Amino acid sequence: LSHLTVASNISKMSANNVKPFTVFVEGNIGSGKTTFLEHFRQFEDITLLTEPVEMWRDLKGCNLLELMYKDPEKWAMTFQSYVSLTMLDMHRRPASTPVKLMERSLFSARYCFVEHMMRNNTLHPAQFAVLDEWFRFIQHNIPIDADLIVYLKTSPSIVYQRIKKRARSEEQCVPLSYIEELHRLHEDWLINRIHAECPAPVLVLDADLDLSQITDEYKRSEHQILRKAV
Ligand code: DCP
């Protein structure tokens, strides 16, 4: 059934030149965004753009993520400016499939991470202003397609434990307070809608569930993402 539906979506695409249905997967650090995207690997004809963090860890041999965590005042601007570039690249990458799933977006970079770094003065007001101008310029001049946001909602204490357990070397210094603040910023953006623009409808999933139970929760999103009765 999934193959038939996707095939009919492809023929619709070529007939009407329809753009792919574009989904951003968002949520706190350690909320399971990569695992969520991997769940969709079983379906044919979906473009998955996973793990942008791997690009941030190796730019011509430089680990920008590590530099940013070791000396945020010095490197946050460089890091976030490269995040914006990699995100814009993902937004603009054409997909010849009916569905395109992306891990994160320019929006979470701006409304969660850059917002946090501005509020706690990691970014100088001048650095924040430059990042914000880039963001506004892109928003107004470059089409960014968005049809759905999947918000993997978590409790800070749960993702904090996961982050400790997975022990990504760069993140060992991350305090619970940072995870709590990022949680509030995701909620303000996706649930409380404090920013004028939320680029697409938001589907909220319970991502506190552990790996043995999460597949059923992920399945809840299949019909909206594949747009078929499952
Ligand atoms: N990060 C950041 N600024 C951004 C985006 C991410 O500082 N604009 C940092 C936070 C993390 C690392 O990059 O230390 C990766 O964060 P993500 O939440 O993007 O990716 P994860 O791999 O943690 O996601 P998940 O565990 O949900 O798959």
Q: From ligand 1's centre to the CA of 230, what distance in Å?
A: 31
Of the residues 26, 44, 66, 103, which is catalytic? 103
Candidates 116, 90, 106; CA nearest to 37 is 90
Q: Is 171 a catalytic residue?
A: no
* DSSP code at position 101: E
What pLDDT score does 37 carry?
96
Q: pLDDT for 187-197, tens place per residue?
A: 999 999 888 77
What pLDDT score does 154 carry?
98
Of 18 and 189, the one with more pLDDT: 189
Q: Considering Cα of 202, then 142, then 100, then 109, what sign does the dihedral take?
A: negative
pLDDT at 95 over 90: yes
Of 198 and 210, the one with more pLDDT: 210
Q: Would you say residue 50 lies in a domain? A: yes
Of 223 and 105, the one with more pLDDT: 105
Q: How many domains does the chain have?
A: 1
Q: Would you say residue 35 lies in a domain? A: yes
CATH code of the domain in which 45 resides: 3.40.50.300
Ligand 1 atom closest to Cα of residue 31:
27
- Out of 24, 33, 53, 87, mutate this one to test ligand 1's pocket (max ligand atoms within 8 Å of CB): namely 53
Q: Which residues constitute the domain of residue 110? A: 2-11+21-226
Least confident window among 25-29, 140-144, 208-212? 208-212
Q: Would you say residue 108 lies in a domain? A: yes
Residue bearing the CA closest to ligand 1, atom 11: 29
What pLDDT score does 212 carry?
85
Query: In 3-state terms, what secondary structure has residue 142?
Result: coil
The answer, yes or no, to whether any atom of ligand 1 lies below 6 A from the CB of 53, is yes
Q: Which residues have a Cβ under 8 Å from the Cβ of 219 and sit 6 or more positions away?
A: 230
Report the complex ipTM. 0.96
Q: Would you say residue 16 lies in a domain? A: no
